Structure 1
Amino acid sequence: MLLKNSAQTLTTQLAARFGQRIRDRLLAPGARLPSVRLCAQQQKVSPSTVVGAYDMLLAQGLVEARKNRGFYVREGQNSALTPMDTAQAAIKSAANAKGGMAELPPPVAPVNATALIRSMFHGVSDKPQPGAGVLPTEWLQNTFLASALRQHCSVQAINSMSLQYGEPAGDLGLRRALSNRLAHIALHVAPEHIITTLGATHALDLVSRTLLRTGDYVMVEEPGWAVEFARLNALGMRILPVPRRADGPDLEVMARYCAAYAPKLFVSVSVLHNPTGFSLSPGSAYRVLQLANQHNFHVLEDDTYSHFAPEHATRLCALDGLQRTIYVSGFSKILAPNWRVGYMAAPKALAEALLDTKLLTTLTTPALLEKAVAWCIDQGQLRRHAERVRTRMDAARARSVKLAVAHGCTLAAEPAGMFGWVDTGVDTDVLAQRMLDMGYLLAPGALFHATRQASSLMRINFATTQEAQFWASFAKLRDEQR
């Protein structure tokens, strides 16, 4: 709240508030500041105070004014189009020429995913955060992680694991445990075709660096994970956004992309998709694999949320038998985020190349933590823990949905898994900035698109949106914005 009896003027206080959020990456490059009129209403100050604050931000080089459009967080000194921007422009041009593909939005700066990641670790307040991508720590607390570590903490074991590099592919005991676990989802893969990684994100990066070269086209589901868009963009890939439907990706768009651009890879969260919660249908999975075989591209299946999903859910890798598919998952969401234990299961023909890339980037991965995860799997501790979390999530989901609907929201997708895709009826980029004043960090819909665009959607974490206090604050500010 701005203080009228402060030694600083209201203009200086308001400029300082926005400036700090920009520096903390809570306002990403390209984000639009509230209009002068709206900001004045929200902060209960005069329009001239807002104009003065925005002028101060302009003078500091933190924002830029765009004629007839408002004020935006400055992108930086390099205004050249990124590889993703160039690809978007090329796709749009080709689509218009062919006349058969829906027109894509004009190239604009991609969402700053590092801002999203930084905000995850930034202490906005001690309140439950609706935009969080992780479970509350109290949900993950248990006694068996300490037991798992103690199994391997003798002096001899510590020396053995710490004074030399581990196995390049990862701890054999963990890979055997993973081989057995994957069989439960009908994915039969030998331990030698499993490679451990520093979390699922590392696995996704290793696959991209192995299979792709600068300028290659990659199909990615949209809406989707902002970090995946940004990661591929940073590697110089040309992103082809594929609309995600309830039963899977838009197959017609995929087919046209394949014919026009010969993409090398399709990245999919097939089960409990982030942010919608959608899961792939068998029919769509079959057609995706047909396209992969016909047009000679690989499918990277990100099953990060596998611990929240039923074993019988349709997985592309299980249907394909790891012919053109690569399976990626990890334990950060369900077990121990800071252990950073992930893995991938790959076709035999790709396993050695992926292992080479791992060696070039990280050499090996920590054996102690991998052995501890293997113990959790073998002893049934992970399975029982996941069952408890799923039961708790089911109850949280029901409460969160009830509150969301009661406060005037609609669900844009059937509630499932960890996240809800909620339609608020207002621009959630603007709403997110106002909610920061109340101590809440939102995940606006713009974060989940390949290029920044206004959206009335937001992703909520069912585990952190069970309090009526949040929804009351949300509804009040949303109604003021209308």
Structure 2
Amino acid sequence: MLMKSATQSLTEQLAERYAERIRQRLLAPGARLPSVRECARLHGVSPSTVVAAYDLLLAQGLVQARKQRGFFVREAVSPRTDARSPSAAPQNMGPINATALIRGMFHRVSDKPQPGMGAFPPDWLESEFMPAAVRRVVATRALNDASLHYGEPMGDHGLRRVLAQKLASINVNAGAEQIITTVGATHALDIVSRTLLRPGDPVLVEEPGWSVEFARLTALGMRVLPVPRGPEGPDLGVMERLAEAHRPKLFVSVSVLHNPTGYSLSPGSAHRLLQLAQRFGFHIVEDDTYGHIAPEHATRLCALDGLQRTIYVSGFAKILAPNWRIGFMAAPPGLVEPLLDTKLLSTLTTPALLEKALAHCIEQGQLRRHAERIRARLDGARARSVKLAMAAGCRFVAEPMGLFGWLDTGVDTDALAQRLIDDGYLIAPGGLFHAVRQPSTLMRINFATAQDAAFWRVFSRRVAEA
């Protein structure tokens, strides 16, 4: 609740609260502010205070008023956007979007556990072996050698060698000469897109799916074609019709522990999917970001395909060291050079010192043991989070697996998200995981950060107010 202050009026406090959310893009361009009456109720102030606060936001150019519709966050104006036609304005933008979740990682809305985050809490990732590996590397000539040269274009050879061995353990056969290191898995996905696609090209994606990938492909000018994702895999009937009509160049898939549902691809669906790729001539990029916490028997397209029409992408930000920014891809031999050219144009090379440290962690078995500890801890957190969610009246629409839970709250989660920000919680509403934004009662939770009973008490109160 807002409190009277000697330095700031209630009006100024309320205006600043919304201004800060807009600056941090927790309220995206096009998002509608609560109605005057609703805002007054939420913050315990009079309607006249809300009107005055919204007037301040108008004066600052942060919002615009639309007759008989309310107040909306203004689209930022730049020299490039001035000449754009009204029809080019973003459509279906909701109050919490992909970049809002990313920004929430850096500008937290509070110190409370955030159920909408997409990563493990930092204290889960702490270890003694990572700093020791870095000290080991910098104590050798490698520090001087790696600092004075750009390094190997494809990435540190020692790391690529141990990555090839690691891939062999999940039946993905790729030599070190087929592996390229990147600045995180997202960079690898970007390299693939920029190599294989041109603006306007159609791309098949899973829906629900990773909101950041939708936003990235859209920003590159691609035509995003959603394919419904179910427990067995993508809807192959829909995929076949889309492939027949649009002749896509690429399909982006999370086969194992899919985000946000937790589904994993079945062997039968994988075989039929590869047949469609062969028939229609599109490539598949398989994002195995969550493979470190997946069951050993999980089905991967790259293992079945032998890296013919598939490209394998993964990284270590989720399981080990987010700020090391080490990812990689394993590609068919004929695509290695084009993909490498794109990497060189975007980053030249990748930092060899941390790649050498990571190679040591993998070779010594430290990453494997660390991942086992994380999986065991996650199992306990998942059980507690599921119990709390169900007690709060939620229903899981997918069997709880992996890091994320996909559940039905029974209320509009876009509206719920804005209420919960006032309480210091950032959630991931269901509409965020659709290529075209639409109202949804679904929500993705992070099992590692949703085991806080205090959050579910606040959640239940806000749902009751809806």
Distance 2:251 2:86 in 1: 23
Aligned length: 460
Secondary structure of the structure 2 residue equivalent to 1:301? strand
Letter in 1 for 2:135: R
Letter in 2 for 1:275: P
Contact kept, 8 Å, 1:175 with 1:195, in 2: the verdict is yes
C-alpha deviations, 1:374-432, integer Å up to 9, x for none? 11111010000000000000000000000000011111211010011121111222211
Letter in 2 for 1:297: F
CA offset at residue 81 of structure 1? 7.2
Contact kept, 8 Å, 1:83 with 1:215, in 2: the verdict is no
Cα–Cα, structure 1 residues 185 and 370, in superposed 2: closer, same or farther, change >3 Å?
A: same
* Greater CA drift, 301-310 or 431-440: 431-440
Secondary structure of the structure 2 residue equivalent to 1:116? helix
Distance 2:304 2:183 in 1: 27
CA offset at residue 59 of structure 1? 3.2
Q: 2:377 matched to 1:392?
A: yes
Cα–Cα, structure 1 residues 166 and 10, in superposed 2: closer, same or farther, change >3 Å?
A: same
Aligned to 2:43: 43
Aligned to 2:403: 418
Letter in 1 for 2:92: V
Secondary structure of the structure 1 residue equivalent to 2:141? helix
CA offset at residue 296 of structure 1? 0.6
Contact kept, 8 Å, 1:275 with 1:419, in 2: the verdict is yes
Q: 2:215 matched to 1:223?
A: no
Scaled by the length of structure 1, what TM-score is found?
A: 0.91
Letter in 2 for 1:286: H
Distance 1:67 1:60 in 2: 19
Distance 1:41 1:345 in 2: 54
Distance 1:416 1:283 in 2: 20
Aligned to 1:407: 392
Aligned to 1:104: none
Q: 2:336 matched to 1:351?
A: yes
CA offset at residue 16 of structure 1? 1.7
CA offset at residue 134 of structure 1? 1.3
Cα–Cα, structure 1 residues 200 and 9, in superposed 2: closer, same or farther, change >3 Å?
A: same
Contact kept, 8 Å, 2:257 with 2:264, in 1: the verdict is yes
Q: 2:194 matched to 1:209?
A: yes
Distance 1:84 1:61 in 2: 17
Q: 2:23 matched to 1:14?
A: no
Q: 2:463 matched to 1:475?
A: no
Scaled by the length of structure 2, what TM-score is found?
A: 0.94
C-alpha deviations, 1:297-330, integer Å up to 9, x for none? 1001101000110121111111111111000000
Aligned to 2:302: 317
Distance 2:276 2:87 in 1: 29
Which of these residues, 277, 286, 294, is aligned with residue 292 of structure 1? 277
Contact kept, 8 Å, 1:83 with 1:237, in 2: the verdict is no
Aligned to 2:447: 462
| Aligned pairs (5 A) from 1:53-452 | 53-77=53-77, 78=81, 80=85, 108-109=92-93, 112-452=97-437
Secondary structure of the structure 2 residue equivalent to 1:463? coil
Letter in 2 for 1:470: F
CA offset at residue 115 of structure 1? 2.8
C-alpha deviations, 1:252-275, integer Å up to 9, x for none? 221111111111101011111111
Aligned to 1:453: 438
Distance 2:431 2:203 in 1: 20
CA offset at residue 127 of structure 1? 1.3
Distance 1:383 1:469 in 2: 33
Secondary structure of the structure 1 residue equivalent to 2:272? helix
Letter in 1 for 2:184: G
Contact kept, 8 Å, 2:36 with 2:47, in 1: the verdict is yes
Contact kept, 8 Å, 1:84 with 1:236, in 2: the verdict is no
Contact kept, 8 Å, 1:161 with 1:367, in 2: the verdict is yes
Distance 1:235 1:130 in 2: 30
Aligned to 2:28: 28
Distance 2:150 2:15 in 1: 51
Cα–Cα, structure 1 residues 224 and 259, in superposed 2: closer, same or farther, change >3 Å?
A: same
Distance 2:58 2:437 in 1: 21
Secondary structure of the structure 1 residue equivalent to 2:180? strand
Contact kept, 8 Å, 2:28 with 2:93, in 1: the verdict is no
Letter in 1 for 2:372: E
Cα–Cα, structure 1 residues 389 and 83, in superposed 2: closer, same or farther, change >3 Å?
A: farther
Give ranges in structure 1 of 5+ residues lacking alignment. Answer: 86-106
Distance 1:381 1:453 in 2: 44
CA offset at residue 51 of structure 1? 3.1
Secondary structure of the structure 2 residue equivalent to 1:323? coil
Aligned to 1:52: 52
Letter in 1 for 2:280: H
Cα–Cα, structure 1 residues 412 and 47, in superposed 2: closer, same or farther, change >3 Å?
A: farther
Letter in 1 for 2:146: M
Give ranges in structure 2 of 5+ residues lacking alignment. Answer: none
Distance 1:240 1:84 in 2: 20
CA offset at residue 346 of structure 1? 0.2
Distance 2:142 2:338 in 1: 30
Contact kept, 8 Å, 2:101 with 2:116, in 1: the verdict is no
C-alpha deviations, 1:97-118, integer Å up to 9, x for none? xxxxxxxxxx535875333311
Cα–Cα, structure 1 residues 157 and 236, in superposed 2: closer, same or farther, change >3 Å?
A: same
Contact kept, 8 Å, 1:427 with 1:454, in 2: the verdict is yes
CA offset at residue 6 of structure 1? 4.9
Cα–Cα, structure 1 residues 161 and 335, in superposed 2: closer, same or farther, change >3 Å?
A: same
Distance 1:338 1:311 in 2: 27
Contact kept, 8 Å, 1:31 with 1:429, in 2: the verdict is no
Distance 1:386 1:80 in 2: 50
Contact kept, 8 Å, 1:112 with 1:230, in 2: the verdict is no
CA RMSD of aligned residues (A): 1.9
Contact kept, 8 Å, 1:443 with 1:460, in 2: the verdict is yes
